[in-house]
Structure 1
Amino acid sequence: MSRQLLEEDRPVGSDVTPFGTRLRAAMDARGPLCAGIDPHPSLLAAWDLSDDPSGLERFALTATEALAPQVSVVKPQSAFFERHGSRGIAVLEQVIALSREAGAIVLLDGKRGDIGSTVRAYADAYLEPSSPLFVDAVTAHPYLGYGSLRPFFDSADRFGCGVFVLALTSNPEGPEVQAARQPDGRTVAGSLLDRIAAANAGAVPLGSVGAVVGATVGETGEDFARLNGPILAPGFGAQGGTAADLKRIFGAGLPHVLPATSRGLLQAGPTMQGLREAAARTAEELAAVLT
């Protein structure tokens, strides 16, 4: 892949404070932990809450109020709010607002991706400040072509937001696409990482285009430090990823990693004290590896 092609992936400059700058400051102040707000039916049941909008609201707001003041990033999983319809989306709006009030960065995990005007509409929904669902960053999937995400990148650059591109996920079905070889010999995932690195080239202290790389993917042979951008690492904690795994997988790129955990924290509820203690323990575990 030519350098000329990679340079075309760089977002256009802007006068707003870039997401990467804001994220780096938040991570330095609060640590790298990303707290997932995933109102899964099994967790609602574990908290003795009903699987309806009322139970969703109590669960999500309790978790957010407990965790958002402690962590650098709060990551609500959109699907678990969407399943409750318009009332669920209304709760998601509250989670976003409450997280911001507590000083946390909000990363919406929606894994959106499409083409043309549809991606433009997604960008307007999540990365446009006038939207009630406006967040600091979104996850996006590039498997309709990396270039199909251009409306996300343009809005993110304009408004100081971030985009986390799925690259190496830890689900067992992922490798059939992500490990496929292109004519130049690079894997699909490796090619995506090239484009992310190009988009972030020269950014200080950190670029605003992130990669999603599972905390349980194992050895990849990739140099993640070259990305010069944030790396969201889901699967940390209850899904099996450990602090030692993070160090082994990401190497010199570890300072830019956001280890994400949801069930590992949320199962410590329903009390806010239990949630806060779980977050503090996890933060200490990460600090032992990062320092």
Structure 2
Amino acid sequence: MPDAGSQPAAARAPFGQRLAAAMAARGPLCAGIDPHPSLLAEWGLDDDVAGLARFAHTALEALSPVAAALKPQVALFERHGSRGLAVLEELLAGARELGVLTIADAKRGDIGSTMAAYADAWLGEGSPLAADSVTLSPYLGYESLRPAIDLAKETGRGVFVLGLTSNPEGASVQHVGGDASVARRIIEATRADNAPDGVVPAGGDRGLGPVGLVIGATVGPALEELGIDLAATRAPVLAPGYGAQGATPADMRRTFGGAWGQVLATSSRGILAAGPDASRLRSAAERARDELA
């Protein structure tokens, strides 16, 4: 796969197109790179910057040939301070060199110039933290994310907006409103941003747009109960919860129904527990990929 991430924005294919190509070539697996202190210990590594760097490098080398995308959990690099963020920068640069897409799991969300600064950091040309996409929190209002959404479109990058999460606390906000739930309004807002040339397709067009959604793999019947039509949004769907968190491919096919082709299933601990041996890590990722396919 070409190293599209290092190309100038004008030459870079749109994010949805690049993600669809990666999923077609490698399957719908997103491998999380989550250097939890407990995992560092299981790998025989110290909970310091040297251990973090070894963990990140091993995961990158083992998983990049298998996964459609890699998703580093930003908080677990941030906890090591500026040197931890330097390791993240090296990981993102390494992924670009290897031609694998990245999703910075940062869950940023703010207003005005602050949101614009977050957008520049994670999506801007020349930023050392620039990834192919970044996760965003819309709970200051979907339009508060506009600087990041617009910059993603300009640079051929993408965003994943929290839509419907499976943590128990999420329902107290996301499900409020019944047929006009918070989750439904956020999810439906992505449709216009993913419409080619601003024209919302009447049906049948399943090409992926630049504005993705984070939908928990374990939300069960919530999509149906809230009247949410994911397929109509053309949004790539990042679905955490596959593997160690309990969701099986059969569960996910039932949950996502006609939007299954948009789903990028995330597994972190279920794969990383096979480390630190790189060949075992790669084998675990291959099993997950084949199970999803």
TM-score (norm 1): 0.91
What is the CA–CA distance in structure 2 between the aligned matches of 1:275 and 1:129, rounded to whole Å? 32
Does residue 209 (structure 1) correspond to residue 217 (structure 2)? The answer is no
Q: Report the alpha carbon displacement of residue 71 of structure 1 after superposing the two structures with TM.
A: 1.0
Report if the CA contact (8 A) 1:224-1:251 is conserved.
no
1:126 matched to 2:126: no
| Cα distance between partner residues in 1 of 2:160 and 2:231 | 16
Runs of 4+ aligned structure 1 residues displaced above 4 Å come to none
Q: Paired residue for 2:194? A: 200
Which residue is 1:269 aligned to? 275
Greater displacement, 14-23 / 109-118: 14-23
Instruction: Tell me how far 1:94 sits from its aligned partner.
Output: 1.1
Within-5 A mapping of 1:110-259: 110-181=106-177, 185-202=179-196, 205-219=207-221, 220-221=223-224, 222-259=228-265
Residue 251 of structure 1: how far off its partner (Å): 0.4
Q: 1:285 pairs with 281, 287, 291, which one?
A: 291
* Offset, 1:16: 5.0
* CA-based RMSD: 1.4
Aligned residue for 2:200? none
Q: Which moved more, 1:125-134 or 1:219-228?
A: 219-228
Identify which of 45, 56, 69 aligns with 1:73: 69
Pairing partner for 2:24 from 28, 49, 56: 28
Q: TM-score, normalised by structure 2?
A: 0.90
Identity %: 57
Q: Which deviations, in whole Å up to 9, do the C-alpha atoms of 1:234-289 show, x marking residues without a partner?
A: 011101111011101110100110000110110000000010000110111011xx
Give 3-state SS (helix, strand or coil) of 2:275's partner.
coil
Q: In the TM superposition, what whole-angstrom CA distance separates every residue of 1:179-199 from its partner, at most 9, and x where no partner exists?
A: 0117xx410000111111222
In 1, the alpha carbon distance for the partners of 2:54 and 2:68 equals 22
Q: What is the SS of the residue equivalent to 2:140?
A: coil
Inter-partner Cα distance in structure 1 for 2:229 and 2:185 = 13
What residue in structure 2 maps to residue 7 of structure 1? none
Aligned mates of 2:94, 2:12 — CA distance in 1: 23
Shift, 1:152, TM fit: 0.3
State the distance in 2 between where 1:211 and 1:120 align: 20
The 5 A counterparts of 1:55-70 are: 55-70=51-66
Aligned residue pairs, count? 272
> 3-state DSSP class of the match of 2:284?
helix
1:154, distance to aligned residue in structure 2 (A): 1.1
Is the partner of 2:169 in helix, strand or coil?
A: coil
Q: Give the residue type in structure 2 aligned to 1:133.
A: L
Measure the CA separation in 2 of the matches of 1:15 and 1:277.
34
Find the aligned partners of 1:268 and 1:218 in 2 and give their Cα distance.
28
SS of the aligned residue for 1:165 comes to strand
- Which one is further off, 218-227 or 79-88? 218-227
Specify the SS of the correspondent of 1:173. helix
Structure 2: gaps (5+ residues):
1-9, 198-204
Which residue does 1:10 correspond to in 2?
Answer: none
CA distance in 2, matches of 1:129, 1:36: 24
Amino acid at match of 2:272: L
1:108 to 101, 104, 108: 104
